Amino acid sequence: MIVIRTVNEIQLFARNEKENGKKTGFVPTMGALHKGHIMLVEQALKENDSVIVSIFVNPVQFNNPTDLVKYPRTLKSDLELLEKAGCHCVFHPEVEEMYPEPVTHFYDFGELDKVMEGKFRPGHFNGVATIVKKLLDIVIPHKAYFGQKDYQQLVIIKTMVKMEEMPVNIVSCPTIREADGLAMSSRNMRLNDKQRAEAPLIYKILKQASLWYDQMSINALIQKVETIINDNPEMQLEYFEISDSETLEPVRQKIRDKDVVACIAVYMGDVRLIDNIVFNY
């Protein structure tokens, strides 16, 4: 596995792989890798001849400077995990390498980035779209892999790729969970023991919501979830929303067989966790 720090070198590497007839799979990450990331790498390895993983904590997608400072950085163990998984190349640039100039492009995603994460993290998705576009332009992979845990991010990246007419297949991979249901996330390592013990409630309540969806109005369901989360002393709900799985618009009337996504963001201390589940009626 080779580790590359500059844009020129990764472009050269990716171009060489292509010239040698290899299909390239690309997994963008911000490091602090866990089994969820490794599953993306494993899927990329199955579907491509060469796999590139980027590790870059993207400053422009953090609307909260403290969150950026506290974001876990575990390069040594990340590289060990990737080597073991069979990854071929890691791209790990400095901030100046990716942003020689300040960001000036602003995407218009309509309502997609105004709701849920977008509402509480202004500018976040412009930052995500900006870095993903840059990385895809540099690597020009055949396929790029993203986890469904960041459901809204996935919808926005697919939209950006369509808007920009980029020649890449976006592959969405299922959320990987701990044995107790907690969605794997780099942020989980910042939970203390008490918070970690309570955190599985997040997925439990999402599964419960998918059952309640058949039995009660959406407003009653939202209220019930809000009460249960806020009654837990370790948790503070930021939002819980039932949305159209494609447009992400809030849904208030149930439609038979139409997929909705229930999305949740919860603070546990200063650790912000998100999760989601897709279901229908």
Q: How far is the CB of 49 from ligand PAF (least distance, A)?
A: 22
Binders of ligand PAF in range 26-55 (CB under 6 A): 28-30
Per CB under 6 A, 152 contacts ligand PAF: no
Smallest separation, CB 31 to ligand PAF (Å): 9
Dihedral of the CA atoms 15, 17, 18, 24 (nearest 10)?
-110
Smallest separation, CB 212 to ligand PAF (Å):
29
Phi first, then psi, for residue 252 (nearest 5°) are: -120, -10
Single-letter residue type at 87: C
* Residue among 43 and 61 whose Cβ is closer to ligand PAF: 61
Number of residues that bind ligand PAF (CB under 6 A): 10
Sole binder of ligand PAF in the list 128, 136, 199, 202 (CB under 6 A): 128
Beta bridge partners of 252: none
User: Interface with ligand PAF includes 131 (CB under 6 A)?
Assistant: yes
**Alpha-carbon distance 11 to 163, whole Å?**
23
> Which member of 81, 116, 132, 206 binds ligand PAF (CB under 6 A)?
132
Is 162 strand, coil or helix? Answer: helix
Please, which of residues 161-200 interact with ligand PAF by CB under 6 A? none
Name the one range near ligand PAF by CB under 6 A: 24-32, 97-105, 177-185, 216-224.
Answer: 24-32
Minimal distance, residue 55 CB to ligand PAF, in Å: 9
Nearer to ligand PAF, 125 or 212 (CB): 125
β-pairing, 89-91 with 2-4?
A: parallel
CA–CA distance, 182 with 190 (Å, rounded to integer): 14
Q: Which two tokens stand for residue 211?
A: 């059952």
Cα separation, 82 vs 80, whole angstroms? 6
| Residue 23 · residue 180 · CB < 8 Å | no
125 or 240, CB closer to ligand PAF? 125
Q: Of 59 and 181, which CB lies nearer to ligand PAF in the complex structure?
A: 59
Helix (H) or strand (E) holding 3: strand 2-4
Please answer whether residues 83 and 41 qualify as being in contact, where contact means their C-beta atoms are separated by less than 8 angstroms: no
User: Catalytic site residue 37?
Assistant: yes
Residue list 57-96, contact with ligand PAF (CB under 6 A): 58, 61
Q: Is-contact 135 28, C-beta < 8 A? A: yes
**Residues carrying an active site annotation:** 37
Which residues sit at the interface with ligand PAF, rule CB under 6 A?
Answer: 28-30, 58, 61, 128, 131-132, 150, 153
